[in-house]
């Protein structure tokens, strides 16, 4: 299993950390089995604000995903379909155990080559995003 970093608009990153947003939607599915997902809150924050355990990834048409978990995605139906409506297949990442980083991590401070992913990217070495083993929760459970 690998970890990944996910770029998320700041407003949605906050909803994930509050435990309100239980699904994050994407047009691409991870090709690897993912354990932990780090949340990169996009502009204006540009910080890694926390992480969550990825429970499962649902797949289906936009209509199927909306029907099964749209109400847990904290996005208005019109916005959802304006973004995903033309896609044949989309994916819902189910959020599990959540860990908030206080203070948030500035990945640019420790890695001048850091680039926020367009959607998501795999992480093979957590130091790439400004973390070390001591920065992580000792155990993640559901």
Q: What is the pLDDT of residue 133?
A: 59
Decide: pTM greater than 0.85: yes
Domain 2-128, second-level architecture: Roll (2.30)
Q: What is the DSSP string of 15-82?
A: HHHTT---EEEESS--SS-EEEEEEEETTTT-EEEEEEEEEEEEEE-HHHHHHHHGGGTT--HHHHHH
- Which is more confident, 54 or 138? 54
Strand partners, 60: 90
Task: Determine the angle formed by the axes of helices 62-69 and 77-84, rounding to 10 degrees.
Answer: 150
Residue in the structure block whose two tokens are 């599990």: 96
Read off the pLDDT of each residue in 16-36 and give the average, rounded to a whole number: 96
**Residue spans per domain, the chain:** 2-128
3-state DSSP call for residue 122? strand
């Amino acid at each position: 299993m690998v970890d990944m970093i996910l770029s998320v608009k700041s407003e949605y990153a906050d909803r994930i950390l509050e435990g309100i947003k239980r699904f994050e939607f994407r047009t691409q599915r991870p090709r690897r089995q993912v354990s932990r997902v780090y949340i990169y809150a996009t502009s204006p924050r540009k910080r890694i604000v926390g992480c969550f355990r990825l429970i499962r990834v649902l797949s289906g048409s936009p209509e199927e995903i909306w029907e099964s978990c749209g109400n847990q995605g904290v996005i208005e139906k019109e916005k959802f379909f304006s973004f995903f409506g033309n896609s044949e297949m989309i994916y819902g990442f189910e959020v599990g155990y959540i860990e908030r980083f206080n203070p948030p991590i500035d990945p640019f401070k420790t890695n001048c080559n850091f680039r926020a992913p367009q959607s998501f990217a795999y992480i093979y070495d957590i130091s790439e995003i400004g973390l070390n083993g001591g920065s992580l929760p000792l155990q993640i459970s559901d």
